[in-house]
Amino acid sequence: MICISNLSKRFGDRHVLRDITLSINAGETVALLGPSGGGKSTLLRCLNGLNTFDRGEIRIGDHLLSPANHRADLKAIRRFFGMVFQDFQLFPHLSVLGNVMEAPRRVLGWPRDRAEARAKALLDRVGMSGHLAAYPGQLSGGQKQRVAIARALAMEPRGLLCDEITSALDPEMKYEVLRVLEDLKRDGLTLVLVTHEIGFARRAADRVVVLCDGAIVEDGPPAEVLDRPRSERMRAFLQRVLV
């Protein structure tokens, strides 16, 4: 369970998150939608401690993040979640296999054979078993993103935080990456995704949460939020993204 209570964050004079209160159940898939600058990526980065915040708290299981207690439970919380970024963040000097093995070996202290077996199994699952020796510079965007997902899963997290991971991909590559996420959803991972993929949100998400100007303006099942939005702000957003 993720419990976010009265979370607020400023960047200088800009109020990016305004008293966000939100609960996400274990195994739930939540799509974060809304216009650019609405606070979606900042909220995601607060969940695993990449951004500090000014007020409120985040509780994940028995672990707490707050402005006064930001580092105490941070390591444990980061073990709960893998993070997948829009720009892949792969190590350019490591092969595909090396990228996925790196964290289990260095952080978890796994022996090479165990880390390699886990990495190969994950890369096979995301359709990248034929590229073990390739380097990131030799891969397409969709291939890089599937490696990034495998790398996040290598740490055996309870969930994934995904920050617009298909925004730079062509339609065919988007389909491949989203297919992997739908497969992970069936495994019961908690997925929290910042996305503009309305079709994916409608098909795969359990809930859609809409952030505008740092506040939650909609929260509910996809059919309710996407087909019968209550707020004028959400109706205007959908008119722009569905044209």
CA proximity to 97, closest of 140, 127, 125, 128: 128
Q: Convert 128-145 to b/e letters by CB count within 10 Å (16 or more is b).
A: beebbeebbeebebbbbb
* CB-based contact 128:148 (threshold 8 Å): no
CATH number at residue 177: 3.40.50.300
The predicted-structure confidence for 4-55, as pLDDT tens digits, reads as follows: 999 999 998 899 999 999 999 999 999 999 888 889 999 999 998 889 999 9
Compute the distance between CA of residue 182 and CA of residue 12 in angstroms, rounded to an integer. Answer: 38
Number of domains present in the structure of the chain: 1
CA 207 to chain centre: 14
Domain that holds residue 86: 2-241
- Asked whether residue 70 carries a pLDDT value surpassing 60, the answer given is yes
Q: Is the pLDDT of residue 192 over 80?
A: yes
Task: Find the DSSP H helices in the chain.
Answer: 40-47, 74-80, 96-106, 112-125, 141-153, 171-186, 198-204, 222-227, 232-241
Q: Judge whether 24 and 190 are in contact, CB under 8 Å.
A: yes
Return d(Cα 92, Cα 29) in angstroms, integer: 31
Longest dimension (CA), the chain: 55
- The residue to which tokens 């899963």 are assigned: 153
Contact 46, 55 (CB under 8 A): no
Geometric angle at alpha carbon 140, from 121 and 125, rounded to 5°: 15
Count CB-CB contacts under 10 A for residue 18. Answer: 16
List pLDDT tens digits, range 140-177. Answer: 988 999 999 999 999 999 899 999 888 777 777 788 88
Identity at 200, one-letter amino acid code: F
CA distances from 111 to 58, 73, 114, 178, 185 (A): 34, 26, 6, 32, 29
Amino acid at 85: F
In this structure, how many other beta carbons lie within 10 angstroms of the beta carbon of residue 196? 17
CA distance 216 to 17: 9
As a residue count, the chain comes to 243
pLDDT in tens, 78-132: 888 888 988 888 999 999 999 999 999 998 899 999 999 999 999 999 999 999 9
